Amino acid sequence: QVQLVESGGGLVQAGGSLRLSCVASGRPFATHAMGWFRQAPGKERELVATISSGGSTYYGDAVKGRVTISRDYGKNTLYLQMYSLKPEDTAVYYCASSPYMTWGTRTSDYDYWGQGTQVSVSS
């Protein structure tokens, strides 16, 4: 059974930074693409960033230039470093694992999800 456990969320002031982590277990971390999505109240879940098994990345337009996705193969851990946070970044952030090696931008490209971690940005 694949498990994804996120951590690192919290309350931060606008302009601040946060680093989210996601520890994955249950299938080979190195051969699956991973992603970060977020969902704000009343809105659809949207892509933040995704990374292939080989490390190539893609970022959503709303966060491009303000976040960096990375993965540590030795620790089976996915990271999302966020900078220059804005109040509109407030959402629950979810880690996701794909059955594929190449990254995907749709929620349907992923088959396992973490429980989510809340990020709140105050103005």
Distance CA 12, CA 60 (A): 21
* Average confidence (pLDDT) over 105-111: 97
pLDDT of residue 17: 98
> Strand pairing partners for 39?
92
- Please give the mean pLDDT across all residues of the chain: 97
Give me the phi and psi of 10, to 5 degrees please: 165, -170
Q: What percent of the chain has pLDDT over 90?
A: 100
pLDDT of residue 45: 97
Distance CA 4, CA 88 (A): 25
